[in-house]
Structure 1
């Protein structure tokens, strides 16, 4: 067995399977943190009357914070020190959150009137919900691809036992 085949066989037992179910679960996990941050950012930005760009920037920043925090919570529970847990969260979630944020904010800024709609407006909430669905659907294949290569949520898998 050549070295690369040996490495693959040796590490294959430590990876979660790259199934659609595993990818959907990883995406849903990321989406939970993203949605909390995204909704909070959109609500705060809209309530404060911030410009669309400032609202999107706030929503993106909070999505990353909450996305990483949810991953770190589980890793810290496994007894991993804070600094190491942060590294795991960064490795596990950065690409997934970035793809989700690009997609859901693209939807929000392209739906006519969504960014200008108030918190009591169905257009705001409908566009936001739709943007999160789009992000989930289009990020799941990205997560499947990454898990299959031992990246993304595959790096968190060992802490879930």
Structure 2
């Protein structure tokens, strides 16, 4: 998995779309990486909780825990493949993804909680899927600027680049 979210080349490459050495495309790529792990965990957690008839709080808690697990795992596995030891890889994954996952989960779960009937919707209802996927899209849009800001300051996904 490619983690090239920090740009180190010319500031003219993307014609005005770059600030502080980080392109919007690079920030979006880092956010999409994070979103992938979060979406897997979020969808799995919501689907499990809903299928088992759990209440809102335990379902959302499971979805959040799984979003963090899968979000960190994607980075962790990629860094381990690059040859880092487990302890160092865990530290890098935590540094790379924590803020991004927190922002994404706050936005996504906040939207799901605010959409009337979304938490009571069942797996076979459009409201379940539209609120869940719509929340992930909005979370992506709001998390991308956060990641751009962090990467531009050598934080977040920028820490992964020292190991590629």
Shift of 1:159: 2.8
Which one of 35, 38, 60 corresponds to residue 56 of structure 1? 60
Q: Quick check: 1:158 aligned with 2:162? A: yes
Aligned length: 148
Which of 1 and 2 has greater Rg?
Answer: 1
TM-score of the superposed pair, with normalisation by structure 2: 0.87
Structure 1 counterpart SS, 2:120: coil
Which one of 26, 37, 46 corresponds to residue 30 of structure 2? 26
In the aligned structure 1, how far is the partner of 2:27 from the partner of 2:44? 25
Deviations 1:102-121 (A, max 9, x none): 00000001001011000000
Structure 2 counterpart SS, 1:156: helix
Which one of 64, 74, 79 corresponds to residue 75 of structure 1? 79
- In angstroms, what is the RMSD of aligned CA positions? 1.6
Q: Quick check: 1:119 aligned with 2:123? A: yes
Q: Name structure 2 gaps, 5 residues minimum.
A: 1-6, 9-19
In the aligned structure 1, how far is the partner of 2:94 from the partner of 2:145? 19
In the aligned structure 1, how far is the partner of 2:162 from the partner of 2:28? 18
Counterpart of 1:141 in structure 2 is 145
TM-score of the superposed pair, with normalisation by structure 1: 0.88
Counterpart of 2:135 in structure 1 is 131
Counterpart of 1:38 in structure 2 is 42
Structure 1 counterpart SS, 2:117: coil
In the aligned structure 1, how far is the partner of 2:147 from the partner of 2:68? 16
Shift of 1:18: 1.4
Counterpart of 1:4 in structure 2 is none
